[in-house]
Structure 1
């Protein structure tokens, strides 16, 4: 699965954004990260450093959805989303 990752500007970080990305790659090795806007992403995650979640969402679109996260309480929901996208992508690859 290809995941487009977009960060906010980091002006008021209360959430450790880079640790989240490290956890994603560690726990979900089938996820490949992409940091440039491209229509080839299966999913997108916009990682914001605080609750204002003001990151520009322009172009942050994944084929199967986009998730915006700004706090630790959302991590399990993000992982549920990513696991669902992995299942969808794997099923679509099986039919090819």
Structure 2
């Protein structure tokens, strides 16, 4: 038997008519399901990596901002340079 047709992205079987026995459809559906699960797993891993990178960048940015704030606060209360100029 020649297989004419296939399975679309939605999992619908098309163009097979009576040329394919049900014995061949089940393995095709199983293969399609396995491919979909593999794609979903890869996307989940990618999303988790992106989430971790964003958390890391947010933490770095937070540390940078807090360091800049503390440096500015130290500079505002520092009068030692004024005393040197007066001498």
Q: Same fold (TM over 0.5)?
A: no
* Higher radius of gyration, 1 or 2: 2
**Superposition TM-score, scaled by structure 2 size:** 0.34
Q: Which structure carries more helix by proportion?
A: 2
Higher RCO (CA < 8 A, seq sep 6+): 1
